[in-house]
Structures are given as C-alpha cells and as structure tokens.
Amino acid sequence: MASFDQFTAAPLNAAISSQLAGTVHGFMGRGGGASAGAYATFNLARWVGDGAVPVAENWRRWRANYPGLAVANVAQVHGATIHRVGRGWNDGRPEGDGMVTAESGIALGVFTADCVPLLLADRARRVIAALHAGWRGTIAGIAAAGVRAMAELGAKPEAISAAIGPAIGQCCFEVDLELAERFAHEIDGAGAFARPGRPGKAYLDLRGINRMLLERAGLDPEAIDEVGPCTRCANDRYFSRRGAGGVTTGLQMSFIALAT
Ligand SMILES: [Zn+2]
C-alpha cells in the first residue's frame, strides 16, 4: 500500500522504501546542502546554472554518506530510452531517461523537480533500474521500457518491486484539458486519473498513471510503494519547478545501487 512521508534514519534525510530494502537507495530532498537561491540547498545537478563550488560540496557530502559508489546519470530528454550501465560506463551523460544495471557498486541516479522518479529492483535476480517519468516520458512509455530493459538482464516483472518517489501531486498538477484528453487517448485507463479543474483545465495524477503502467507491465500491485509528498506542496523540502514559478531550480536526485 502507499505510504507517504516515510522518512527514516537514511543519510541526508533521504526517503526510502521498504519495497527496496536490501538495495542502497534514496530519494534525496533539497535540505542539507550548500547551494543558495533557487538551488538551495542540496542541488546535485551540475548543468542547471548552480555554482561549481556548492555543487561539489553537495557531492562531497553525498559521497561521504554513500561511500564506494560510482554514479551514473543520463541527460534527460523526456523520452523512453533506457541505457544499460556496467563496468566501462564512462562519466558521460548520454541522452535518455532511464538506466538499468545488474552490477553492484553503481548508483543509477535520476534528477527531478516535479517529474516522477521511479526506482525498481528485482532483488532476487539483482537487477535494478532508475527512471525519470515526466508527462512526456509517461506517454512515451518509460515505465514499461524500464521493465523490459530489466527483463533483458534477467529480471522477472512479477518479481520486481518499485518505489514511486516525490513528485508533483494531483493536488497541484493542473494542465490544459487538451493534455488530459491526450493522456486519456494515448494511455488506456488514464482518463480515470484526471479530474476537472478550472474551465479548460484538469488535474492529472501522474504518479497514479505510472503506478497503473507498472502494474500493466507485470508488477505485483502490492510491490509498488509511493514515497514522499507532493513536491509543490512540500516545496520547502523538495525542489519544485512549479513551486518556484516555472524558473530553473535545483534538482533532487533519486538513486539506487545493488549492495555489494
Ligand atoms: Zn500539491
């Protein structure tokens, strides 16, 4: 079942999920860092205009809490391309919105500030994935693509557990009615995740749609957890692009690694 605001003693106030117990993972928030202004404080993204010095300090703090992990990132483009990460992965950031690996010691990290971060694991077969699902990526099928990429590495969909991280909630995700209708048209069943808003507007439940898509990809509904609040409602604890008025902000990282 969904469990919101499930904070524990994980380092740097990272939110974690019991569904991913046995992996090293966390949904980082914006607290505990050195960045200022729109990047305050725990921004780990080097490419959003934040200063090199505070970002390096944030990484120092992250690495001190999660020692021994290499970190793999992608240049997120709101698509459904999944990269397979392993030894030999260089530090580049190829375009894509998801990563999978079956190797330990590599943290797969995706960055968000309202979009939906998804962390997945087949813990028995030791295959993991991290996915970035904004509305475009959701329509593009990133959730199913991630499960397929895990299956190619030996995972069984019915054995995959998942955590859906802090993201903009239906309470705050107001979109044009045309977009809500596009979701309903392109994703069977997505119409149930929209409710009317002001004239010409609707509120979409992007986390709910991704949960449905994970179930449709073969995951056990009981193995899907939801972690953390709406990023816009909890803008003091999470970066939220909408909460910042649409300007560039820092980004929070959600990551998962196989324990050695
Ligand atoms: Zn909200």
- The alpha carbon of 174 and the centre of ligand 1 are apart by a number of angstroms equal to 10
> Cis peptide leading into 41, omega within 30 of 0?
yes
- The alpha carbon of 101 and the centre of ligand 1 are apart by a number of angstroms equal to 33
* Average pLDDT of the residues in 59-72: 94
- As a whole number of angstroms, the distance between CA 9 and CA 125 comes to 27
- The alpha carbon of 74 and the centre of ligand 1 are apart by a number of angstroms equal to 27
| Distance, CA of 94 to chain centre | 17
Helices (DSSP H) in 86-141: which residue ranges?
135-140
- The alpha carbon of 2 and the centre of ligand 1 are apart by a number of angstroms equal to 16
91, part of any domain: yes
- As a whole number of angstroms, the distance between CA 197 and CA 176 comes to 9
User: Is there a contact between 228 and 4 (Cβ–Cβ < 8 Å)?
Assistant: yes
Give residue 136's domain range: 11-168+228-258
Q: How many domains does the chain have?
A: 1
- The alpha carbon of 252 and the centre of ligand 1 are apart by a number of angstroms equal to 17
Q: pLDDT at residue 10 above 80?
A: no
Q: pLDDT at residue 170 above 50?
A: yes
64, part of any domain: yes
* Average pLDDT of the residues in 55-72: 95
175, part of any domain: no
205, part of any domain: no
91-117 tens-digit pLDDT: 689 999 999 999 999 999 999 999 999
* Average pLDDT of the residues in 148-163: 98
- The alpha carbon of 225 and the centre of ligand 1 are apart by a number of angstroms equal to 18
- Return the closest-CA partner of residue 207 out of 11, 27, 65, 21: 27
105, part of any domain: yes
- The alpha carbon of 241 and the centre of ligand 1 are apart by a number of angstroms equal to 12
Classified as helix, coil or strand, 74 is: coil
162, part of any domain: yes
- The alpha carbon of 52 and the centre of ligand 1 are apart by a number of angstroms equal to 31
Strands 174-176 and 106-112: unpaired
40, part of any domain: yes
Q: What's 109's domain CATH number?
A: 3.60.140.10
- As a whole number of angstroms, the distance between CA 181 and CA 201 comes to 10
- The alpha carbon of 233 and the centre of ligand 1 are apart by a number of angstroms equal to 4
- The alpha carbon of 86 and the centre of ligand 1 are apart by a number of angstroms equal to 37
What is the pTM assigned to this prediction? 0.95
* Average pLDDT of the residues in 17-40: 96
141, part of any domain: yes
